[in-house]
Amino acid sequence: MKTILKLVLGACLLLSFSVFAHDKDGHGKKLMAVDNFQKMDADSDKKVSKEEWLKFHDTMFADMDKDGDGMISLEELKGKQMEKRDKMKEKAKENQKQGKKKNQTTTTE
């Protein structure tokens, strides 16, 4: 039980290292906490109930528990972090391409 608790706390700690989430233009303007709050607030009442909190984190846990054994291994945690990093790299490349397209359009006009 202590191992599971340590893994969950470790996962939360690792996820909290990314304090800023990027907006649609790729700028780190929006705090991740605000973004997660909005995701947790299922009924949009600007409050997060214990049930909403638990559902959000249960979903996060299930997403990390790739083999469905009810535990998160270090490998699963690392895999989730790699997946997140890869998504961020892809988004950055996409934003960079869009920025080049905007520059090309502006210079040709």
Per-residue pLDDT tens digits for 46-79: 999 999 999 999 999 999 999 999 999 999 999 9
What residue ranges in 1-109 does DSSP mark as E strands?
A: 20-21, 30-31
Q: What is the pLDDT of residues 78-108, one digit of tens each?
A: 998 999 899 899 999 998 888 877 666 655 5
Element (H, E) at 30: strand 30-31
Spatial distance between the Cα atoms of 31 and 22, rounded to a whole number of angstroms: 9
Instruction: Give the residue with greater pLDDT, 20 vs 86.
Output: 86
pTM for this entry: 0.53
Place of tokens 């869009």: 98
